[in-house]
Amino acid sequence: MKASSSAAPSAPCGSRFIQVQRNLPGMLGRLNEVLARHQVNIAAQYYETYADVGYVVLDADASAADSERVLADIRKLEGTIRARLLYEYKV
């Protein structure tokens, strides 16, 4: 399943996360719920799967403090193989 046909473009401000996940029903939704719980807007998202693995690049309108909390919760999601904060744009 592809949420977008091209890679997420660089955002002028905010944070970029990457997540490698098991390709299970509902995984993308659970990831998006994490950001919603933190009241962080998703600016752009790219999602691709291959066999039993999914890969997400996500740009969010998140402050540095929000980014650390969001990342901690993404890592706690069942089905997350690896997650990291790729970079932050400081305003």
CATH number for the domain that contains residue 52: 3.30.70.260
Q: Is the pTM of this model over 0.85?
A: no
- ∠ CA 54-55-61, nearest 5°, is 130
In a domain, 7, yes or no: no
In a domain, 29, yes or no: yes
- The span from the CA of 45 to the CA of 37, in Å, is 17
Structure confidence by residue, pLDDT tens digits, 42-91: 999 999 999 999 999 999 997 877 899 999 999 999 999 999 999 887 65
In a domain, 5, yes or no: no
In a domain, 39, yes or no: yes
Phi first, then psi, for residue 83 (nearest 5°) are -145, 145
Q: What is the pLDDT of residue 63?
A: 81
Boundaries of domain holding 39? 14-89
Q: Which residues pair with 84 in a beta bridge?
A: 18
> What is the number of domains present in the chain?
1
